[in-house]
Structure 1
């Protein structure tokens, strides 16, 4: 049987165009969203390791042993090649070229200086290539020389700050050096100089330990290979040999974090096992940073997997809805062909052919457009997702063909209104199976907790719970319409009754927007709730860490100093806390910190700081192991003994490190202990750190806003925020597209019905109201149920939605979304209502042009 393809396509242009556009957008998003997320992960990995990340192989040798092991530049470079060849493949891919260097032990400059001066002698082959001579001559020592001064070069900034010039001699005890020239870096912003600050300017370094420690000015003077060899041969100076491998952050993928950490341990073992050189070890903070990043990445993948899984389900639901509406439009044609003797295989041509004509080219075009966007590295999952969507859409067309086994009679006689139709046993089994899968998924997720990761079943929990709620709503939805019908029939106006009656005449395909809208609202509600919880958790952490809008780490502070702080513009309150270190009880010398504070005043000043009681003598857990619950006396030199009776424990107090021993006592008990440091907690609007520092000169000021900003800039935090925001927007857009799709595809049939009603006296204004009433039941039931489910999903998936890696360890509990999310929900509902009115106006027809004589 020949099928007029072009005529059929023209007749069904609206659902075909809708299916093509939706497939195009879905394919584009299937490529762009995972690629953008992966790119965000990679950028977060690069930021997590930092611009100065490196792997160093360090070893120490002294005097003649150093000269024997590394006699010159050839020996230094050959060892660099050896270390590089020992790097595991994953590390060699991200490590830059080796940067070998040799540095003497710290040498004291003879003379009376305040502060003391320290100098290192450094032979760094890379530094020589990155400097330019400013004055004097390069340091060139004669090979084999054993007398005279060792020629060195220092940076001009070092010389200017400490008063040196070319030609000056420096006495280092065993070594006498001559400054032959001053240099400056060719590019001071070069990352090469970040770990070599002493080569560019003086650096403060501590001399001594404990209370007697003082700071000295330390620098590094450049020497050449001959200078190194001479110092090694003629003195007993100790040298540190370092082969540094900078990490190229742009070559690091987020997925490599776990592999790199494991291979770094293997590299450490290999370096320690080398026996032909002095003992060396690997020094790097890379594995700690990668381990911390891996924990945050695991959390991000788990949380975003839930959101992206729901988003994919919404996109699939809209596409299936479009394919189903196309099948409904083709049903009379297929029924007529079946009545004229066409086989099911012949029906598959127009049904599946038209669907493929709209979907396949659009999917290919969307895939190509997604690649052209270059949102990030393409992900294999994108191709699989598009293929699954195509198979699902074509599968709907195949099901539409199988439904026509009964011929045209089944189309004309079977009534499948949503209210009148009785659910089949098959549908009942599928509904029960779906609810069971949702329950199993939730149970498994809660049992596995944070170990759930990106397991497909676990990631599908929001989809399964949303679909399960959708089928339950579909079960209840017809009864709600049945109850509303008789009630509205008794009212004077006809619009509400007619609207409910038309909503009741929809079949199951026409009610599918309810499930799609429910899923979209669930995704939007979940994303908005978790995003709000993350922000609130970070705010909570900032209050707990800083303790107020600002905290001043002050030295001994008198009442006049406190008055100056309170007089700073914007300050609305200030509470002084006295901090006495190195206190102890008489029966145990273990040191602890006594914190004197008026808890009542502090709670009034900063009520948002969590877990701070109003009064009492409180101990940290570590202090409790020493003090116990008995009355004890705390004291130290310069402090009158304080006798206290502990009343409870406290795990954290602002300004005191977690895991430290401290005791909180009333401020009046230590008010007379002068000469000890103080902390001042300050609240107010528009506080200025500069003005607070001016009021308390020489003291450190920590601002809560700065900490909150730093937390929001942590690696992966921006990725999570952006993904949740875009997920909520995309989910809401798909929901609106589903509404518009149903309205446009059914506009012609609805126009004919409205024409009959217009002939019976329905006004244009009532027609607009009828459009709103028709769509209102689906919108209110779907969006309401989905939004409520989205609000509870963080609690349902609680073990997985653990945002503490992004909130400084403080729990981020689920909250009701903020005002922007609620306004967005209201705006989406208004847009859906506006779309209904717009489609009614667009397809408004004159009854005289639609109705035939006799109708």
Structure 2
């Protein structure tokens, strides 16, 4: 008995690793799945951090920091008491917030007060100062000249300090006294120091009134007015005790925001913003804090959650296919070793012993590879996603052990035709397949009804596409023989053996097993799915940018007259120009009554031309200065009036079809759009728009056009570019990760489908080689035998193309109806499904090319088998 065991082990050692191709497939697939399972969650954590840093980094300090202002008298305790209140409030916040925000800062300042000298020079401006006190001003300033102001005793002049730039602009030398008129009695102030900022780029200066320089207002009709804040000692403020504005802020660490779990950070900040902060001991004085972090982190969370759900749909198919191919490769290994395994069984090896030995071999193939791959995933991606993904990645290496053990036939010594009986399903198998289909229908329905869950990865978002994919594959496997049977009947009526034999073999021993169908179907589905999702997200970004900008270029700020509008129209490279003016609120009348609506004045023909081709563009065909007047109401106005507008401010009007919004303009929900001349008729006012929309001619760059517009307008204005707004959405880390991951999923799916074809070719090689060898001895040529091989794979490819294309459309529909994609598109409505024909055709063509190469490889593999070897094996 011991000698038998030794011989069994020796024989296993001799046969270990044969066939090497199948063993290699198992090792590679085990490593790939383990690496994916280990690294993907960590990469999503890193993407979340990068997206948070990206969103927070785009905020200005005044928007990013926790900031609040309140108009009130400083409570008892003065500025020191306010600082203490800020510190106490911060101490009560969660530790995640305390690690993000710095110590609170506070300042208090008055409204602008006119400070007049005894004699004002002919070129000197009026001086408006805002008396301001802050507890630690000297920590951020250095004295350029003079001495820092002392506390006011209640008599004599009040000492102040100005920035050196502000003092020079106001023409105010040190030591000069000026008078501030007040309701009670005039106040005398004296400049005792000029200062400079220790760090002029410190964001704190953005929170305060103009302090480092003086703002100058000059309309050309009177003496200019220079305004600036002037520091006073905090004790002076307590003595004066004037009404003023208290501003508090907590600086936010932009770098630290990326290292905090956003799932904890966002609710904590929302709670702080929602609850007013007490500034006095009794809580009589409170201030509400605000921060753009709430919106920015909301976008970051929305994008990362949507990315996580989409990638779960994209990744679940390849992972399942990889497991299926491991099972298929295990079946190939057992089939190739059947003679050796039968010999072991004949020599007394029990089936349980053989299964344990096969499981041990599978564990040796899969577990080390999965352990190495899981460790590699941890090393490559430093972000921590917990220990669960690593454990699951290692457990993925157990799949080959189970696959090899279960692939052992029940009776190794039985002899029979392997190409018969494949279509007969047992009752338990049919019941299992029916259960999978029912579960898929239930999961998809529930996901569509309630949507993907927020926060951590929703199991339903993984289960629904997985079950849908497997269910569709099972249905395809069951339906696949039907057209093959019809083809066989057709081939029986034709001449030639190639079609007859090929169709007969395809029916008797179809290579369209579940694993092969899954692999090829998923390859096509992922290609279509990726192209549709990418096109939908990209299209949504374009639509969001169009909604925000309204044209290729938007200029906003100054009032623009007709001459300047005409000059802008003459700039080379501008195809159309339209001005938008938010005018007065006027009564609009309709069948159901009357409503006050905001009047938007524009050149309606030019606006339609500027926005031509955009989603939600202003409609063409509306005329200006017609009788009766034509207006374009908002959908809210139409709903309130119960029908079309019949008059505006008593002037008869004809209502055109309503629109939901005006691209590029933030207006009231209740508005009516009228022509520029009609607006003048209604109000008696001129048309001086503050928003200018420019449509670029093809081939022209925006930068030189904006420069020329700036020369015409002069002064300060803001510019928004359609391309820049679109690129901002597309360039976020979440969108970039989504694009890379989806394209990578296509590549993985293509590789798996090619492997599936080759492995299936290996599984059916013996039966195929036997048939081809016999046909060659009967005189069939090589070209005809290649046609027989093609009959095995071409129907499978056609089936996978049709079913995969259908699944590739169903999965994006599942995404659009169950996952919120608005964070990807800048808000607004959920983007509609969009198909890019070029991208979809390109990806599908790549898949088909890969499958064609795999089929050619299968054909070449079949031809490589020696006819003599096959016949000799049959005689043995």
Range into which the TM-score falls when normalised by the shorter chain: 0.7 to 0.9
Distance 2:344 2:309 in 1: 50
What residue in structure 2 maps to residue 812 of structure 1?
A: 831
Distance 2:65 2:581 in 1: 41
1:80-131 residue CA offsets vs partner (Å, 9 max, x unmatched): 5423321123422x42330433333344251477686443534353x65555
3-state SS of 1:595 partner: strand
3-state SS of 1:242 partner: strand
Cα 1:853–1:31 shift into 2, 3 Å? closer
Distance 1:654 1:314 in 2: 46
Task: Judge conservation of contact 1:768–1:837 (CA < 8 Å) in 2.
Answer: no
What residue in structure 1 maps to residue 626 of structure 2?
A: none
Task: Judge conservation of contact 1:314–1:520 (CA < 8 Å) in 2.
Answer: no
1:711-761 residue CA offsets vs partner (Å, 9 max, x unmatched): 334674444444433333333333334334445676788678767766766
Cα 1:331–1:582 shift into 2, 3 Å? same
1:25-67 residue CA offsets vs partner (Å, 9 max, x unmatched): 111111222211221122223333455333357677647x55x
Distance 1:485 1:606 in 2: 56
Shift of 1:324: 3.8
Shift of 1:304: 3.9
Shift of 1:550: 3.4
Structure 1 counterpart of 2:727, from 709, 720, 728: 709
Is residue 675 from structure 1 mapped to residue 686 from structure 2 by the alignment? Answer: yes
Cα 1:217–1:720 shift into 2, 3 Å? farther
Task: Judge conservation of contact 2:608–2:618 (CA < 8 Å) in 1.
Answer: no
Distance 1:805 1:140 in 2: 51
What residue in structure 2 maps to residue 787 of structure 1?
A: 805
Task: Judge conservation of contact 1:31–1:379 (CA < 8 Å) in 2.
Answer: no
3-state SS of 1:413 partner: coil
Distance 1:103 1:273 in 2: 13
Shift of 1:273: 9.6
Which is further off, 54-63 or 433-442?
54-63
Task: Judge conservation of contact 2:551–2:694 (CA < 8 Å) in 1.
Answer: yes
3-state SS of 2:397 partner: helix
What residue in structure 1 maps to residue 535 of structure 2?
A: 532
Cα 1:421–1:629 shift into 2, 3 Å? closer
Task: Judge conservation of contact 1:444–1:458 (CA < 8 Å) in 2.
Answer: no
Aligned counterparts, 1:716-731, within 5 A: 716-731=734-749
Task: Judge conservation of contact 1:642–1:670 (CA < 8 Å) in 2.
Answer: no
What residue in structure 2 maps to residue 89 of structure 1?
A: 95
Distance 1:682 1:62 in 2: 48
Cα 1:368–1:387 shift into 2, 3 Å? closer
Structure 2 counterpart of 1:446, from 445, 448, 455: 448
Distance 1:738 1:117 in 2: 80
Is residue 98 from structure 1 mapped to residue 116 from structure 2 by the alignment? Answer: no
Which is further off, 339-348 or 834-843?
834-843
Is residue 663 from structure 1 mapped to residue 681 from structure 2 by the alignment? Answer: no
1:596-620 residue CA offsets vs partner (Å, 9 max, x unmatched): 5446982696143427544453322
Distance 1:198 1:368 in 2: 56
Which is further off, 548-557 or 385-394?
548-557
What residue in structure 2 maps to residue 108 of structure 1?
A: 113
Structure 2 counterpart of 1:41, from 48, 68, 72: 48
Task: Judge conservation of contact 2:27–2:366 (CA < 8 Å) in 1.
Answer: yes
Shift of 1:329: 3.4
Distance 2:796 2:55 in 1: 46
Shift of 1:819: 1.3
The TM-score, its normalising length taken from structure 2, stands at 0.81
Distance 1:215 1:513 in 2: 82
Task: Judge conservation of contact 1:537–1:810 (CA < 8 Å) in 2.
Answer: no
3-state SS of 1:139 partner: coil
Distance 2:224 2:643 in 1: 42
Aligned counterparts, 1:413-562, within 5 A: 413=416, 415-417=418-420, 420-449=422-451, 454-485=457-488, 487-488=490-491, 500=503, 503-504=506-507, 506=509, 512-553=515-556, 561-562=564-565
Shift of 1:236: 3.6
3-state SS of 1:41 partner: helix
Distance 1:120 1:733 in 2: 72
Distance 1:262 1:847 in 2: 74
Structure 1 counterpart of 2:708, from 687, 694, 717: 694
1:535-587 residue CA offsets vs partner (Å, 9 max, x unmatched): 22232333344443334558776665454333333333445666533444699
3-state SS of 1:569 partner: coil
Shift of 1:336: 3.6
Which is further off, 524-533 or 48-57?
48-57
3-state SS of 1:176 partner: strand
Task: Judge conservation of contact 2:769–2:870 (CA < 8 Å) in 1.
Answer: no
Task: Judge conservation of contact 1:622–1:659 (CA < 8 Å) in 2.
Answer: no
Shift of 1:436: 0.7
Task: Judge conservation of contact 2:331–2:763 (CA < 8 Å) in 1.
Answer: no
3-state SS of 1:475 partner: helix
Shift of 1:782: 1.5
Structure 2 counterpart of 1:832, from 851, 856, 869: 851
Which is further off, 319-328 or 763-772?
763-772
Task: Judge conservation of contact 1:529–1:817 (CA < 8 Å) in 2.
Answer: yes
Is residue 255 from structure 1 mapped to residue 263 from structure 2 by the alignment? Answer: yes
Aligned counterparts, 1:504-653, within 5 A: 504=507, 506=509, 512-553=515-556, 561-575=564-578, 580-584=583-587, 590=596, 592-598=598-604, 602=608, 606-610=612-616, 612-613=618-619, 614-615=621-622, 617-624=631-638, 629=643, 633-635=647-649, 642-653=651-662
1:771-820 residue CA offsets vs partner (Å, 9 max, x unmatched): 65543222221233112221133335543144234333134222324412
What residue in structure 2 maps to residue 13 of structure 1?
A: 20
Shift of 1:463: 1.6
Structure 1 counterpart of 2:818, from 779, 794, 800: 800
Shift of 1:821: 3.2
Task: Judge conservation of contact 2:587–2:648 (CA < 8 Å) in 1.
Answer: yes
3-state SS of 2:844 partner: helix
3-state SS of 1:87 partner: coil
Is there any run of 5+ residues in structure 2 with no aligned partner, and where? 182-186, 623-629
Task: Judge conservation of contact 1:124–1:222 (CA < 8 Å) in 2.
Answer: no
Cα 1:239–1:847 shift into 2, 3 Å? closer
Cα 1:467–1:140 shift into 2, 3 Å? same
The TM-score, its normalising length taken from structure 1, stands at 0.83
Distance 2:847 2:809 in 1: 17
Distance 2:400 2:779 in 1: 42
Structure 2 counterpart of 1:54, from 65, 74, 97: 65
1:244-283 residue CA offsets vs partner (Å, 9 max, x unmatched): 25243133223224532464268x36x4497357623341
Task: Judge conservation of contact 2:108–2:245 (CA < 8 Å) in 1.
Answer: yes
Shift of 1:437: 0.9
Cα 1:171–1:769 shift into 2, 3 Å? farther
Which is further off, 761-770 or 790-799?
761-770
Structure 2 counterpart of 1:31, from 10, 30, 38: 38
Is there any run of 5+ residues in structure 1 with no aligned partner, and where? 208-213, 636-640
Cα 1:313–1:197 shift into 2, 3 Å? farther
Task: Judge conservation of contact 1:511–1:778 (CA < 8 Å) in 2.
Answer: no
Aligned length, in residue pairs: 824
What residue in structure 2 maps to residue 341 of structure 1?
A: 348
3-state SS of 1:178 partner: strand
Distance 1:558 1:82 in 2: 54
1:669-700 residue CA offsets vs partner (Å, 9 max, x unmatched): 34766622235544322252542563452465
Cα 1:533–1:782 shift into 2, 3 Å? same
Aligned counterparts, 1:304-383, within 5 A: 304-374=311-381, 376-383=383-390
